[in-house]
Amino acid sequence: MNKRKPIPKVIRKQVYDKYGGHCAYCGCLIDYKDMQVDHIKSIYWNNGTDEIENYNPACRMCNFYKSTMNIEDFREQLGKLLQRLEKVFIFRLAKKYGLIKETEKPIKFYFEKLECEQK
């Protein structure tokens, strides 16, 4: 089993600064110490590289859920969350009482929104 090399601090800082301290996916602000470095293209499943171009800053939740998925598979899985939640009784109950408002909108990641603003 290959042991992953730690990412040098100077590279981690560049990754953190890439989107101004925000998660590249959900856009939440991340403290530097809590940032996880996501491989955009997984090393193990998609022949990704250990290079800064293949790194994105990610919060713990997004990095955990994305795992080794590519961007489009991650988007697709996020799009299925509502139908998966519908199977959970307490979700349906919370919806019935108006505690949750469903919105079905296309998944657009934070880094994509920034790219659109820059154009």
Portion of the chain with pLDDT greater than 90, in percent = 76
- CATH number of the 9-118 domain: 1.10.30
Structure tokens at 110: 């934070």
| Domains of the chain, residue spans | 9-118
Q: Please state the rounded mean pLDDT for residues 76-89.
A: 94
pLDDT bin (cut points 50, 70, 90) of residue 1 is: very low
What pTM does this model have? 0.87
pLDDT > 70 in the chain, percent: 96
Helix (H, G, I), strand (E, B) or coil at 23: coil
pLDDT at 2: 54
Confidence of residue 3 (pLDDT cuts 50, 70, 90): low
State yes or no: pLDDT of 80 exceeds 80. yes
Q: Summarize pLDDT for 20-40 with one digit per residue, the tens.
A: 999 999 999 999 999 999 999
d(CA 45, CA 54): 14
Q: Are 48 and 54 in contact (CB under 8 A)?
A: yes
